[in-house]
Amino acid sequence: MLSLLLLFFFQQSGFFSTFFKRMEEGGMLPMTLILISFFIMIFLIFKASVKLRSNFLVFNKAISLVNQIALVALVIGLFTQLIGLIQVFDSFESLENVQPALFASGIKVALLAPLFGGLVFLIGRISTFVLTWIHNDSEQLVGTE
């Protein structure tokens, strides 16, 4: 499955250029912070998957860290959206004749960081759900033996 996903990304020659273009449009600082949060979260998901057989407290701590990092990514995205919307409205306030295309492009840029942060949040929450489900099933199997 992962190899098919990687094959798709590398077949599409413009994927990474489009990704970095969107990161630049959304603001390099917040988008980079969200990307760093994503990489930390992936590391913590891997760490939690390794600790599936450990006791509940150790596993729960790893899951809690994944949830917290995912939430940080979402909050960074939403905070950036609010700042972006304030900037969009400030710039349009100074204009006499606002063009709809200009307004739409400003709103699009303001929505990029929360979209990326929300995606990181969803990946984190879905992975913690799956890992918790697997951990609970493995505990039930151990308890029945």
Poorest-confidence range of 6-20, 30-44, 108-122, 131-145?
6-20
Percent residues over pLDDT 90 in the chain: 35
Query: Environment class of residue 9 by beta-carbon count within 10 Å: exposed (0-12), middle (13-18) or buried (19+)?
Result: exposed
pTM: 0.78
Which residues fall within 8 angstroms of residue 32, CB to CB, at 6 or more apart?
23
CA distance 129 to 71: 15
Percent residues over pLDDT 70 in the chain: 85
Domain parsing of the chain, residue ranges: 23-144
CA distance 42 to 70: 10
Residue for token pair 């303001």: 110
Polymer length of the chain: 145
More confident residue, 46 or 14: 46
CA distance 14 to 127: 28
Burial 94-126 (b: 16+ CB within 10 A, else e): eeeeeeeeeeeebeebbbbbbebbbebbebbee
- Which of 17-31, 42-56, 62-76 tops mean pLDDT? 62-76
Tokens standing for 109?
């840029």
